[in-house]
Amino acid sequence: MFQEFPMWVSHPEKEARIVANEAEFVALGDGWVKPERVDLVAREHTPDYVEYPKWVGDQLVQNAEEESALLGSDNPDTRAALLQIAEEKGIRIDKRWSDDKIRAALEAA
């Protein structure tokens, strides 16, 4: 919740000061200005935001593949089936891979 007062106000010819409320600000007279307000923007919506690297639990991940591998499969049966198919086909995979990456490796073979 934004609280406007107390705030610093400035004057081109006088020393800046703190006012406790709107009445004190008005009582100072002409020439006093309030600081510019800046609209807050969520960090994810800033132009320089990058999603990775980021912490997932106590691990630092560099991309979406590492994150999904760390979090594991949503469906353990699907993952087990993919790993079994890869083993039967003799396809070498990394168990840190996501289900999608394993599936892509199986399709490419």
Helices (H) and strands (E) in the chain, counts: 4, 4
pLDDT value of residue 77: 78
- The structure tokens listed for 73 are 């499969």
Task: State pLDDT tens for residues 35-67.
Answer: 998 888 888 888 888 988 988 888 898 988 888
Contact (Cβ atoms closer than 8 angstroms) between residue 33 and residue 9: yes
Map tokens 């994810």 to a residue.
Answer: 44
Going from N- to C-terminal start, the domains of the chain cover 1-40, 54-108
Contacts of 32 by beta carbon, 8 Å cutoff, 6+ apart: 9, 10, 11, 25
Q: pLDDT averaged over the chain?
A: 88
